[in-house]
Structure 1
């Protein structure tokens, strides 16, 4: 993207719109559906940066089918209504495919839009199981689903002899799905859910929830929503004297959690997709990303980078930009060049393996849990 187009893109992104023309002359355009405004904007910008880096490398290697590639960003703001507007604009812009999808609740209503427009969609972060039945066959999830996350969470809880659990969600497609799956599997295993709580996004005072949790006195608390609010809850739980284990889902695996929760994040467990610092093949990516953008890549940068490269490989395999051919190539994908590991798909177009790892807050940063 030229310096001029970057300036135009930045201005339009601030307005929650789209960046650049739909199709570059003698080239093709990939759409990016990410939140670049709102509470999850840090994640979204990081994903957009990773896709931009992947496209630069693709173009340096000759492009796709001999054509140079550009990107166009739709800001979904992690909001279902805004995501519909962003997806509709992307669908009408002539993109050959879309990469992204962070918040499951915002991604869910876009599935029909992209299906109706016959646009392949590589979902790089959103992983609610609610996305699976809503998929018309053109969308592909390269982050493991909530089923895999729950399996990893229960394995860890059992290893720590946790018997009673409090589960807190925010009522959205991602966090409620993860909460419901956890409750179901936990109780099926013969364990006890001491309390379930649903809070509103953006709350500042969690005293009522903290009181309910302390009254139930669970061995562990599992926050299934996003880091911006999770950090506040963690801090208020510890300030109120709760001493049990605190765990968070992959929506809270951001390093920003430590800035919000402070020292209360020490010892917090995160069930996470593989992030760059724990991927042996990601060093060159981290160096390139840091040099270009001035900061380290965030939690979903590797998956978004992989998703962009995967879409490019599928178009090359299809030998055209025909959507049906690209979808067929994705269905048969055996992508072995990913930073986060190999990518192939189940019959439901979900990642054919679990990619979850367990992290622990140590010294104000994430480390692999022992």
Structure 2
């Protein structure tokens, strides 16, 4: 008889299970809703692995640590999980957190499959131990820039908070748009954003800012300014993906295009997982939940095929070929990216339909 999966929070230390460490933002200032979806995907896949017999007859246990979007806390979690003997690390949503976790994991020789963080420079130097499912920021944001150009937007303003991630996004947009006749103007968030926006004569404003604040307040201000009635608001980082966006903004939160990493149509596996995740979350699953599920699916196949010791897992990255919810997952070395990368997951630009804010419209694919 197959052993059931361990209840959440139970950590076996007697060698009776195969353990995977999970880094997830579950408390503020982390993006808690993203963390909840990521964890739901991870846990669903662990349940499926265990119902199918586990790993060589042993149950798969998920040892979860809350990073709270804190890089120092993440490094401490990586060290702790390494001491606990996990076979590999999974997860993390925030790029600046995943970055320090990836560097630390590689230094310790601990395999890390990053689920959701997109920063190109996840590590500054080539990392043998680290692989990533999410597309690099430069890949997704160039697709978003092409969407802007196709929609006739060449004068772009950005409301950007100080951050390596947001600064990287501005650079990607500017480098891609400038040769095509586009301009990117950075607004001062400490000033009157609406007045600055009028002065910039921009046709699109991109929110490179945290959710709920200051993103929600900026949207409300722009929507209520008659001078800006024709401006398009965009959020390439995906702030409108989650239900709290619609709850916070109502109709004001519709028609704000953002990136998500799903195919136009899910295959049989993806459709089944979508149903199971919807039941687990009591709401529509985000792409982040699918990333969580795919992370465990890949790691389980690696553990079954190549063993549970860390060196074998690290050596397996270039040999991985696993059916995920969003396509066949394989890792390769991609120019400019120092980790093993799935190149590429499907990318969409979508928004919330103004007629039905609970529904998403696909505007562009790449």
TM-score range, shorter chain: 0.7 to 0.9
Q: CA deviation at 1:54?
A: 0.4
Given that residues 141 and 236 in structure 2 are in contact (C-alpha distance below 8 angstroms), is that contact kept between their aligned partners in structure 1? no
Q: 1:176 aligns with which of 167, 170, 178?
A: 167
Given that residues 22 and 72 in structure 1 are in contact (C-alpha distance below 8 angstroms), is that contact kept between their aligned partners in structure 2? no
Moved more, 82-91 or 151-160: 82-91
Which structure 2 residues correspond to residues 279-298 of structure 1 after superposition, within 5 A? 279-281=266-268, 282-298=270-286
Q: 1:215 aligns with which of 194, 199, 210?
A: 199
Q: CA deviation at 1:361?
A: 1.7
Counterpart of 2:362?
Answer: 368
Given that residues 157 and 202 in structure 2 are in contact (C-alpha distance below 8 angstroms), is that contact kept between their aligned partners in structure 1? yes
Q: 1:255 aligns with which of 215, 240, 243?
A: 243
Q: Deviations over 1:25-55 (max 9, x none)?
A: 4211111101010141111122112111101
- Unmatched tracts of structure 2, length 5 or more: none
Counterpart of 1:196?
Answer: 186
Matched, 1:301 2:321: no
Given that residues 91 and 113 in structure 1 are in contact (C-alpha distance below 8 angstroms), is that contact kept between their aligned partners in structure 2? no
Given that residues 33 and 99 in structure 1 are in contact (C-alpha distance below 8 angstroms), is that contact kept between their aligned partners in structure 2? yes
Q: Deviations over 1:134-189 (max 9, x none)?
A: 55221111111111112211211111111100122222232221122112221232
SS at match of 2:287: coil
For the aligned residue pairs, the C-alpha RMSD in angstroms reads: 2.3
Distance 1:302 1:38 in 2: 22
SS at match of 2:124: helix
Q: CA deviation at 1:79?
A: 2.0
Distance verdict in 2 for CA 1:5–1:36, change over 3 Å: same
Given that residues 22 and 94 in structure 1 are in contact (C-alpha distance below 8 angstroms), is that contact kept between their aligned partners in structure 2? no
Given that residues 6 and 61 in structure 2 are in contact (C-alpha distance below 8 angstroms), is that contact kept between their aligned partners in structure 1? no
Distance 1:234 1:24 in 2: 52
Q: 1:37 aligns with which of 27, 35, 56?
A: 27
Distance verdict in 2 for CA 1:3–1:125, change over 3 Å: closer
Q: Deviations over 1:232-289 (max 9, x none)?
A: 32222111232311111134132322222221222111122228x9534422212222
Distance 2:147 2:46 in 1: 38
Counterpart of 1:357?
Answer: 348
Given that residues 5 and 60 in structure 2 are in contact (C-alpha distance below 8 angstroms), is that contact kept between their aligned partners in structure 1? no
Question: Relative CO higher for 1 or 2, CA cutoff 8 Å, sep ≥ 6?
Answer: 2
Counterpart of 2:89?
Answer: 98
Distance 1:368 1:87 in 2: 37
Q: 2:147 aligns with which of 156, 162, 170?
A: 156
Distance verdict in 2 for CA 1:250–1:291, change over 3 Å: same
Q: Deviations over 1:78-124 (max 9, x none)?
A: 12222222222222221111110100011111122211221111111
Q: CA deviation at 1:24?
A: 5.6
Matched, 1:237 2:225: no
Matched, 1:270 2:258: yes
Q: Deviations over 1:178-217 (max 9, x none)?
A: 1221122212323222x21365xxxxxx762232122212
Distance 1:69 1:4 in 2: 8
Moved more, 44-53 or 169-178: 169-178
Question: What TM-score does the superposition give when structure 1 sets the normalisation length?
Answer: 0.87
Distance verdict in 2 for CA 1:302–1:24, change over 3 Å: farther
SS at match of 2:157: strand
